[in-house]
Amino acid sequence: MKLIIMVCAILTCLSLSFSQVVAASTGDVLEKSLTQTEEGEKPLITDQAKPDAAKAEESKYVAPVNNAGEEEGEEETVKIADPLRPWNNAMYHFNDKFYFWILKPVAQGYSKAVPEDMRLSVSNFFSNLAMPIRFVSNLLQLKIKNAGNELLRFVYNTTAGVGGLADAAKLDFGIKQHDEDIGQALGSYGIGHGFYLVWPFLGPSSLRDTIGRIGDGFLNPVSYVTPWESAAGIKVYDRVNETTFHIGDYEDLKKSAIDPYVSLRDAYVQYRKKKVEETDASAEVESQSSIQPVGQPEPAQPLMTKLEPDQQPLNNPEPVKQSGTAPEPLQQSTEQTESVKQPGTFFKHAETFFKLPEPGQKQVVPKPLEKKELLKSTIPNNYHATKPVHVQIGVFKERSNAEDFKEKYKKKGYDTFTLECPTKQPGAIYRVLIGIFSNKKEAARQAYEIRSKEKIDAIIYHE
Amino acid sequence: MRKQGIALTLIILLIVPLSVHAGAPLDSVKGNINKVLDVLRDPALKGESGKKTKRQKIRSISDKMFDYSELSRRTLGQDWKKLNPAQQNEFTDLYKSLLEDAYADKIINYTDEKVAFSKENQLSEKTFEVQTTILTKKADIPIYYRVIQKDGEWKVYDVVIEGVSLINNYRNQFREILMNKSPEVLLDTLKKKVGKA
């Protein structure tokens, strides 16, 4: 019992120190926005003023004036003009019928005939094929590194990924796809939607995104297949294949909405807004990490929990498995270590080929970002949502040993923390991890450094 | 050992929300989501027969997890004042059952997805955003919970899925109604929707 209390105390202290990091990091970002642009000042002041007012008013049941103001501020950013509503409404109903009468039954039949893994491969294949769209869109936003990564991904996935059937670049090196399209590139220039526009078969769009889509069409190799009927056929097949992964989404939206048309329109605008802003966020993260290669001081304590199937088609041979991610205890898989070794050679080449921007050069990138500082001011800082990647420097059966180890390396200047992981057997193992890295590549670099410098095993840990 | 672990987590969960500092929002959301996961995983509740119990259990967790009056107030924004206190109460109740009906089934049908808790961002003095990701085979879906501190506890007032904020989405729908119609019409529409669902 005493032990439990002690551990609790330690944990509370830990979370306290975490809170300081949170405060520090958020403070940093706020300060940054203050110094960077004048627009940055506005939200900061209102942000601070609001809670006080809200606090004063909260006891009353009536909505605080300030709070309502805050809501208004949020609204401005998600509104879209809808002058063609009669057309859009008609098209919405057309698409609704098209989905329920044709697309959904076809997709359901197809998904019964074709196993999921194969459908995923098809999805990867088309996604790989559409690389030019992402490449050009990244370039248009001066996202040189992402564009280089797209090229790299294409080469690697086409060869090692067998014609793009597998996303090998993501699996082997953690190079993620940068989902960009021309519409987003236009959005990043500060071009607004114009107005909402629903297309038959294609669904929600806007003036800007329609123009973007035409651009995408020119960049999509499938468009150049002759005769055009074949190109159309291929695109329809791609669409059906994609739909199999989204059956139920539209039904859910319809079920939960008071007015599905308005709900879908709003969801589209919010989603696209995030997509446009996401590019900024990831740029920010990248430039941050280049300044601080050891890892960002992020207060994250990733913890994975596995959801068990509600109704499993087959009996789970290992019911104990439910306890969690069930990581391989105390053993470092060869696959993981391999990916650590690789970057030393592979990425060095990649870097020289694609000239990844150096910290100094990165200063050039913020230019297009400043424009959207205005838009960004209403959303929380750091909007990226990537899978957390860490470097693991040790695994222990005893928490205290893990804590000691953690402290030892913390003193050496590493951003260490421990993570409790349930095992297949009752009990847990304790991993000592370093930092959060925005991608596997950086983690690999750090792991490599630690291995050569500290002469201890360091591998990438993710999930 | 496992029981001890559970006891430990419970104690931590009890202690941490009391201490008023950052780090707590993430723990609070994590605790609640883990409770939901426990219900979903409960082998005693497998199959059709367990569904009703599951739904009830999840409902009681969500009651504690969400601050429905804050959620309702923020959803209507400036329109909130158009409703009188009685209507506000009724709206909160109806809106709550609408959300429960809409999302309970969805949650119950989750299969082998994983949930990752990545981090928390401070939005304002009293509000935080806890970022989680549901990892599926096809893609990673970012789900952010926005929480506000009320009486030393962190309560969810908005859920942002793939950048789409729940309360923003509903606000636009409700506003269209309130633009030309009275609050009574809004309440009637809600009643119909809840009754039907």
Which of B46, B81, B118 has its CB closest to that of A388?
B118
Chain B closest-CA separation from residue A74 CA (Å): 8
Which of B46, B140, B190 has its CB closest to that of A387?
B140
* pLDDT tops 70 at residue A260: yes
Chain B closest-CA separation from residue A71 CA (Å): 5
pLDDT of residue A370: 40
- The tokens of B126 are what? 């009293």
Q: Which of A132-136, A161-165, A250-254, A440-444 has the highest mean pLDDT?
A: A132-136
pLDDT of residue A224: 92
How would DSSP label each residue in A362-421?
A: HTTTHHHHHHTHHHHTTS-S-------EEEEEEEESSHHHHHHHHHHHHHTT--EEEEEE
Chain B closest-CA separation from residue A315 CA (Å): 11
Asked if A307 is an interface residue toward chain B (Cβ–Cβ < 8 A), one would say yes
Of the two residues B187 and A303, the one the predictor is more confident about is: B187
pLDDT of residue B100: 87
Helix (H, G, I), strand (E, B) or coil at A459: strand
Residues ≥6 apart with Cβ < 8 Å to A365 = A142, A143, A283, A287, A357
Of the two residues A444 and A326, the one the predictor is more confident about is: A444
Residues of chain B with pLDDT under 70: 1-23, 111-112, 196-197
Chain B closest-CA separation from residue A130 CA (Å): 17
- Which residues in chain A touch residue B29, judged by CB atoms under 8 angstroms apart? none
Asked if A275 is an interface residue toward chain B (Cβ–Cβ < 8 A), one would say yes
* pLDDT tops 70 at residue A72: no
* pLDDT tops 70 at residue A377: no
- The tokens of A201 are what? 């078969």
- The tokens of A415 are what? 């951003």
Asked if A309 is an interface residue toward chain B (Cβ–Cβ < 8 A), one would say yes
- Flag if B171 and A4 touch (Cβ within 8 Å): no
Q: Residue B168: which CATH number?
A: 3.10.450.710
Interfacial A residues in 317-336 facing B (CB < 8 Å): 319, 322-323, 325
* pLDDT tops 70 at residue A369: no
- Which residues in chain A touch residue B137, judged by CB atoms under 8 angstroms apart? 116, 120
Mean pLDDT of chain A, nearest integer: 68
Tokens 């004063």 map to which residue? A56
* pLDDT tops 60 at residue A229: yes
* A&B contacts, CB < 8 Å: 220
Residues ≥6 apart with Cβ < 8 Å to B92 = B68, B69, B72
Residue of A nearest to B97 (CA): A256
Eight-class DSSP state of A28: H
- The tokens of A102 are what? 């044709």
- Chain center to CA of A252: 23
- The tokens of B40 are what? 């979903």
- Flag if A436 and B40 touch (Cβ within 8 Å): no
- Which residues in chain B touch residue A7, judged by CB atoms under 8 angstroms apart? 8
Give the count of domains, chain B. Answer: 1
Chain B closest-CA separation from residue A298 CA (Å): 8
Other beta carbons within 10 Å of A30 = 17
Of the two residues A430 and A57, the one the predictor is more confident about is: A430
- The tokens of A192 are what? 């607004």
pLDDT of residue A395: 80
Structural domain of B49: 2-193
- Given a contact cutoff of 8 angstroms between Cβ atoms, the answer to whether B195 and B94 are in contact is no
- Flag if B81 and A55 touch (Cβ within 8 Å): no
pLDDT of residue B56: 86
Residue of B nearest to A167 (CA): B138
* pLDDT tops 50 at residue A5: no
Percent of all residues in chain A with a pLDDT value above 90, rounded to a whole number:
31
Chain A closest-CA separation from residue B63 CA (Å): 19
Among B2, B185, B3, which Cα is nearest to B94's? Answer: B185
* pLDDT tops 90 at residue A195: yes
Report ipTM (2 d.p.): 0.81
pLDDT of residue A425: 62
* pLDDT tops 80 at residue A281: no
Out of A47-56, A130-139, A241-250, least confident range = A47-56
- Flag if B1 and A426 touch (Cβ within 8 Å): yes
pLDDT of residue A313: 42
Chain B closest-CA separation from residue A9 CA (Å): 9
Interfacial A residues in 43-72 facing B (CB < 8 Å): 47-48, 50-52, 54-55, 61-63, 67-68, 71-72
For residues A405-425, average pLDDT: 76
